[in-house]
Amino acid sequence: MSFDPFSDLPSMMPGHVWLAGAGPGDPGLLTLLAAKALSEADVIVHDALVNEDCLKLARPGAELEYAGKRGGKPSAKQRDISLRLVELAREGRKVLRLKGGDPFVFGRGGEEALTLIEHGVPFRIVPGITAGIGGLAYAGIPVTHREINHAVTFLTGHDSSGVVPDRIDWEAIGRGSPVIVMYMAMKHIAAISANLMAAGRSPDEPVAFVCDAATPSQKVLETTLGRAVEDVAASGLEPPAIVVVGEVVRLRPSLDWLGALSGRALLTDPFADRHRKDSA
């Protein structure tokens, strides 16, 4: 007897909306519940960061609606997207709102859920693997490591108006968070790096930019806080990108498992230099 991994999972109902995360890119990182929703939904309202390979799992005949929001490009207004979900649900359709990463991590899932509540539309939240964890893992960078950090801060590099958020306490974060993971920060890295160095971070602190994380086109730039602006400009890399600041970036030569699949020789002791200094 064959095993059906979906058999004990809840099914989508007409007139309901599922707010689901698609993960950072690789379709293999979809949760079982998100994959089941793709196979059952009548209409899938997806954003710009959902990998097209994930959408190939949609059931035949499902309607795909693009509702992406990209900085600096013409985009649907958030209120219009939220009301569109209400409209589709009221038509008695099974509605999947599919977002890259996790809908509750800088994904505006909370805003959409509140609109559904306002209009009496039942919904389910399906968490996904956020790019700030999964995308960095595909680059061989852990967000925590016992010998490096016991805390990590996740922040967004721009607010709803498209500028660096002025409500972020850069001095406190710069002083108190050993690892900083930033979404939507690449275009504002000049201001952000200046804020962090003004808060006391060293210009020599390692920084990595992971572009198109967890996709076949993934690219990683390793640099430092002091050289980040210059190196990003020279690289020609473009968003979407996850940016990480902190000593965990130094683990990449040992943990770049994707690079190892292509022949990269990984270091067995990423802390060799530290150990030599400690024993000197």
**pLDDT tens per residue, range 85-102:** 999 999 999 999 999 999
Per-residue confidence (pLDDT) for residue 5, from 0 to 100: 85
- Spell out, as residue ranges, where the chain has pLDDT lower than 70: 1, 69-74, 160-161, 273-280
Catalytic residue among 12, 182, 184, 186: 184
Catalytic residue among 26, 47, 212, 256: 47
Per the annotation, the verdict on 47 as an active-site residue is: yes
Per-residue confidence (pLDDT) for residue 188, from 0 to 100: 94
Per the annotation, the verdict on 204 as an active-site residue is: no
Residues 208 and 244 sit within 8 Å (Cβ to Cβ): yes
Q: Per the omega criterion (within 30 degrees of 0), is the bond before 240 cis?
A: yes
pTM: 0.92
Per the annotation, the verdict on 80 as an active-site residue is: no
Catalytic residue among 42, 53, 69, 231: 69
**pLDDT tens per residue, range 104-163:** 999 999 999 999 999 999 999 999 999 999 999 999 999 999 999 999 999 999 876 678
Q: How far is CA 14 from the centre of its chain?
A: 30
What is the number of other CB atoms lying within 10 angstroms of the CB of residue 155? Answer: 19
| DSSP structure string for 203-254 | TTSEEEEEESTTSTT-EEEEEETTTHHHHHHHHT--SSEEEEESGGGGGHHH
Q: Which of 249, 221, 242, 224 is nearest to 144 (CA)?
A: 249
